[in-house]
Amino acid sequence: MNRRTFIRACAGSLVITRACAEAQSTAKSRRVGYLTYATPDQVAPLLREFTEGLRELGYVEGRNVSVERHYGDGTLIRLPDLAADVVRSRVDVIVTGTNPIAVAAKRATATIPIVMVGTFDPVGTGLVANLARPGGNVTGLCVDASAEQFGKNLGLLAEIVPGLSRVGVLRQAGYQGADLEVAAQKLNMELFFVDVPAIDELERAFQTMRRKQVGAVLIRGALFYVSRQQVADLALKYRLPTTHGLKEYAQAGLLLTYGANLPDLYRRAAGYVDRIFKGTKPSDLPVEQPTKFELVINLITANALGLTIPPSLLLRADEVIQ
C-alpha cells in the first residue's frame, strides 16, 4: 500500500468512527420535560441541583440529555396548557414540582413517566396508590414524613410563643388536616383552618386569623411557595409567628421552618430519572419520604415580633438567620 492510499484509508476510517460515535451519542440522548408554575429565577437553584444530580450519574445537558423547561411564571391556571405542551413534545420523562404541578402532569398523560418532587400527602391526594407500590406512571419524592413532623413544627412554636394554645393553619384549598389534628391533640392545641383558594386571598386569610386570635400560624400547601415573600411580609404585618416545612420560607422572613431539604430532594430526583431511563417502571419505584431535616430560625423576625428564642433551641438549629 502506498503512502497516499494509506492516508485515504485512515481518513475514511476516522470519518466512519466519528459517524458511529455521533450516531451512538444521538441514540443515547434522552429528553426530560421539567414542568413548574414558578418563574425561572424562583426555581433556578432547584434545577441546578437536579442537573448536577444528573451529571453525577453521567447525564450532561447538551451531550446526552436535554432538560426542556416549561414555566408558568407564577400562574397556576396555566398548568394544564403547559402540561399538554410537555406531553406533545414527547419527552422520555416529566419532572414536576409539588402537588398542583404533579396533578396537572398526571391528568395530561397516563403513559409518560412522571417524577414528582416535594409533594404533600401523595397518597391522600390521589397521585399514587401507595408509597411502596405507586402504581400508574407517577413516582418521586414527598416532603411530609408523618404526623410527627407536623407535631415537631407545632412543638417548636410552643417553645417560642408563651402559652400557645390556638394555632391557625393557612391551608391551600383541598388539603386535608387529619394528620395535623393528631399532632395538635398530643400538644393540647386547638387548630383553626383557613383555606386559601388563590394568592389574592392571602391577606384576607391573615386578617381572619388575627380576628380569631390565633397565637401562631402553620403554613401548609404548595400554592404559597412562589409567594413566600408575601406570606412572610403578611405574617410580620399581622404579628403572627409563622412556620413552614421548607427553609426557603425562613429565608424569606418566616419565624422558623423545620422539614425536608428541598434542594436535596431535587438532586435525589435525578436518581429516579436514571432508573427510568434504564427501564424501571415508575409503578415499581417506591415514593421516598424525606430523610434529611433542617431547623432554620430567623432571629431577625423573632426580634421584630418581640420573641425570645431559647438558647437551647438556637443550639439545635441547623441555620440561624441574623
| Planar angle of CA 225, 289, 266, nearest 5 degrees | 50
Closest-CA residue to 59 (of 93, 87, 31): 31
What is the distance between the alpha carbons of residues 161 and 307, in angstroms, rounded to a whole number? 7
- The owner of cell 386569610 is 205
Task: Supply the pLDDT for residue 176.
Answer: 67
Task: Supply the pLDDT for residue 24.
Answer: 38
Kindly report the average pLDDT of the chain as a whole number.
Answer: 88
**Residues 6 or more apart whose Cβ sits within 8 Å of residue 310:** 159, 160
Whether 173 shows a pLDDT value over 80: the answer reads no
Whether 17 shows a pLDDT value over 70: the answer reads no
Looking at CATH, the fold of the domain delimited by 147-260+293-321 is given as Rossmann fold (3.40.50)
Task: Supply the pLDDT for residue 20.
Answer: 41
Summarize pLDDT for 44-99 with one digit per residue, the tens. Answer: 999 999 999 999 999 999 999 999 999 998 888 899 999 999 999 999 999 998 88
| Over residues 188-201, mean pLDDT | 90
The H or E element that residue 211 is part of is helix 202-211
Task: Supply the pLDDT for residue 234.
Answer: 97
Mean pLDDT is highest, among 126-130, 175-179, 303-307, for 303-307
Q: Which three cell numbers stand for residue 66?
A: 436535554
What is the distance between the alpha carbons of residues 131 and 289, in angstroms, rounded to a whole number? 9
Task: Supply the pLDDT for residue 74.
Answer: 80
| Over residues 197-215, mean pLDDT | 93
Do 30-143+262-284 and 147-260+293-321 share a fold? yes
Specify the length of the chain in residues.
322
Whether 107 shows a pLDDT value over 80: the answer reads yes
Higher-pLDDT residue of 124, 274: 274
DSSP single-letter state for residue 288: B
**Residues 6 or more apart whose Cβ sits within 8 Å of residue 210:** 238, 240
Per-residue pLDDT band at 43 (split at 50, 70, 90): very high
3.40.50.2300, 3.40.50.1970, 2.60.120.10, 3.40.980.10: CATH of 30-143+262-284:
3.40.50.2300
Q: Helix, strand, coil proportions of the chain in percent (round to 5)?
A: 50, 20, 30
Higher-pLDDT residue of 274, 226: 274
- The owner of cell 431547623 is 295
Task: Supply the pLDDT for residue 36.
Answer: 94
Task: Supply the pLDDT for residue 207.
Answer: 96
Instruction: Provide the residue ranges of all domains of the chain, joining segments of one domain with +.
Output: 30-143+262-284, 147-260+293-321
* Residue ranges of E strands in 129-189: 138-142, 166-172
Task: Supply the pLDDT for residue 6.
Answer: 45
Higher-pLDDT residue of 181, 223: 181
